[in-house]
């Protein structure tokens, strides 16, 4: 896959998405940036076009709204843009006991983390299959490998993303298309504040968004299936957690999400 390819990135106005946009622009690739904040997207567009002489298209859309994925696709189609790399990065979480949380917030989370990701993948994958080339990067989480008391819905949405990504990867492998699930541990982004996770000790060891984006981008280019940004987490989740009693895993998982 040439670095000159056009990449569509959701959640591109901050965090991992913003860093992925910078990396792709540094490689000389054009971009379609999708997020809710037009001001941040336009600022990033000006910066990347000036520094790297690439074409950056901005699409302002709230992926928690029904039909958002279709509207994004329709805009790129109307502009004649060929998306060779789809990076589904948009997502958010939320802390607290499930029965006390706002169910509408949980539904919005499911819409962004799963439904919009699925719709965008379906829409852009068809063109990739026709062209016999494409790369998809779905930003998941190490949370996808175990249940998450106090973040029950978030962990479940990420389990969907990791499972879905691997299944689709197998389906389209014969078409010269790869699908990569990026499963980082805690990351230093606005996610912590947005998800009400201040005081959760595990986030004290967060890695930078830049390092996670670099890990994910390289894995996407290589066509890796599932990638972790931390070797110790990869070993723990693949070779330790599956052999522990389920109730113990739940207790440990909850402990990591409790606030000090």
**pLDDT grade for 2, boundaries at 50, 70 and 90:** very low
pLDDT at 196: 67
Compute the average pLDDT of residues 111-124.
98
Distance CA 236, CA 122 (A): 32
> Which is the catalytic residue, given 154, 155, 232, 251?
154
> Which is the catalytic residue, given 22, 124, 155, 158?
158
pLDDT at 197: 65
Q: Which residues contact 14 (CB under 8 A, 6 or more apart)?
A: 35, 40, 189, 190
**pLDDT grade for 1, boundaries at 50, 70 and 90:** very low
Are the beta carbons of 230 and 207 closer than 8 angstroms? yes
Distance CA 70, CA 68 (A): 5
pLDDT at 34 over 90: yes
Mark whether 155 is an active-site residue. no
Q: Where are the beta strands (DSSP E) in 11-120?
A: 31-35, 56-60, 85-88
pLDDT at 83: 98
Distance CA 13, CA 42 (A): 9
The mean of the pLDDT values for the chain is 93
Tell me which H or E stretch contains 188: strand 187-188
Q: Tell me: the pLDDT tens digits for 62-93?
A: 999 999 999 999 999 999 999 999 999 999 99
pLDDT at 189 over 90: no
Look-up of token digits 């809710």: 36
Kindly report the number of other CB atoms within 10 A of residue 198's CB atom.
11
pLDDT at 186: 87
Mark whether 154 is an active-site residue. yes
Q: Structural domains in the chain?
A: 7-257 (3.40.50.720)
Distance CA 144, CA 239 (A): 15
DSSP 200: B
């Amino acid at each position: 896959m040439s670095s000159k390819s056009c990449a569509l990135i959701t959640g591109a106005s901050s965090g991992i998405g913003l860093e992925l946009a910078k990396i792709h622009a540094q490689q000389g690739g054009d971009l379609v940036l999708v997020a809710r904040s037009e001001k941040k997207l336009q600022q990033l567009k000006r910066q990347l076009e000036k520094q790297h002489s690439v074409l950056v298209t901005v699409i302002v859309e709230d992926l928690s709204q029904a039909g958002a994925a279709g509207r994004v696709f329709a805009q790129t189609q109307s502009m004649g843009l060929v998306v060779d790399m789809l990076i589904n990065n948009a997502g958010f979480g939320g802390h607290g006991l499930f029965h006390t949380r706002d169910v509408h917030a949980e539904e919005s989370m499911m819409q962004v983390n799963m439904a919009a990701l699925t719709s965008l993948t379906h829409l852009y994958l068809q063109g990739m299959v026709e062209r016999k080339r494409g790369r998809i990067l779905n930003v998941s989480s190490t949370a996808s490998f175990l249940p998450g008391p106090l973040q029950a819905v978030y962990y479940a949405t990420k389990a969907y993303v990791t499972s879905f990504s691997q299944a689709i990867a197998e389906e389209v492998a014969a078409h010269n298309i790869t699908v990569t699930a990026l499963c980082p541990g805690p990351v230093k982004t606005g996610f912590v504040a947005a998800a009400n996770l201040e005081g959760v000790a595990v986030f004290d060891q967060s890695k930078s968004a830049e390092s996670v984006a670099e890990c994910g981008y390289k894995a996407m280019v290589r066509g890796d299936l599932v990638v972790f940004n931390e070797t110790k987490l990869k070993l723990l989740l693949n070779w330790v957690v599956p052999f522990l009693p389920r109730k113990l895993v739940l207790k440990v998982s909850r402990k990591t999400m409790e606030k000090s």
